[in-house]
Structures are given as structure tokens and as C-alpha cells.
Amino acid sequence: MERLLIAIVIVAVAAAVGEVVRRRRQIDPPTQPRRELPSQLDRSDFAHPESPWLVAVFSSESCSTCADVVRKAEVLRSDDVVVEIVPFQTRRDTHSRYAIDAVPCLVVADAEGTVRTGFLGPVTATDLWAAVAEARSPGSIDRAGGCDRHEH
């Protein structure tokens, strides 16, 4: 009888210790993607930092939506606008530097590297061209209720 009582006490103490340990151990929630546009770029990370405007397209070579955004962005190339494609496969360091965690991500930056507008995901050519025109010449596009940074 005495042995049974000792065994019950040992099991109860072990269960209590186990419950205390379980409650103290907090499990961190899974990391969630940010899916945000960078707000500033170092223009020296990109070609032609002397150009007044940069359109940077963070993309992936295996992404069909990225290919569509790249095609639309290429049309913006001019003497004042440099378009640079930043594929994840060959420029992983640049994606990491600017915390790009979703593609396509297109940003329009001025000569100082301030991101004036941008898009996450697919974009229509009309929306892209209008956003770049507005960034280059504020007030040139009538956008009732519009915003400066797009997340589509």
C-alpha cells in the first residue's frame, strides 16, 4: 500500500511539473510575409544612377505575371527613365536588401532614390503609365481619390 501511495505522489508531481513546463514554453507564431514596397532605394545599386528616374522591376524568371509587368515597364524606357529588371535568380542580394518578398514588385524612384509610386502584383499598362506620369509631374493626372502608392 505504501508503494502505491509513493507511486501516485511521484506521478502527480511529474504531471504538475510537465504542465508548468508546457505553459512556460511559448511558441512563436509563424512568420508572415510583409508584402510591402520599399520606400527608399540606393540608386548606386542600379544602372545609371545619374538618370532622373528609375523604374525597378523585382521579378522572377519563372513568373509569367512578372514577364507581363516587365514587358509593360520596358515601354517606359527613355533618356530620363532607366528601366532595370531585377530577377530573383541572379540578384537575390538586391531582393534581400530591399526586403522584397513577393514578385512582381515594380517601383518608380526619383534621382535621390525616393520611391514615388509602385505596384505589387499585376498592373495594367494604363495604370502603370499614369502612375509614372503622375510621379514625374505631380498633378498631371486627374485621379479622384487616388493614392501615391498602389498595391494591386
CATH code of 103's domain: 3.40.30.10
Q: Which amino acid is at 80?
A: D
Which residue range is the domain that position 73 belongs to?
Answer: 43-136
Angle between helices 64-74 and 125-136 (to 10 degrees): 50
Q: How many domains does the chain have?
A: 1
- Over residues 1-44, the pLDDT tens digits come to 888 778 787 888 888 887 877 777 766 666 666 678 999 999 99
Whether 65 is in a domain gets the answer yes
What is the rounded CA–CA span in Å between residue 149 and residue 151? 7
Within-domain flag for 2 = no
Q: What is the pLDDT of residues 106-122, one digit of tens each?
A: 999 999 999 999 999 99
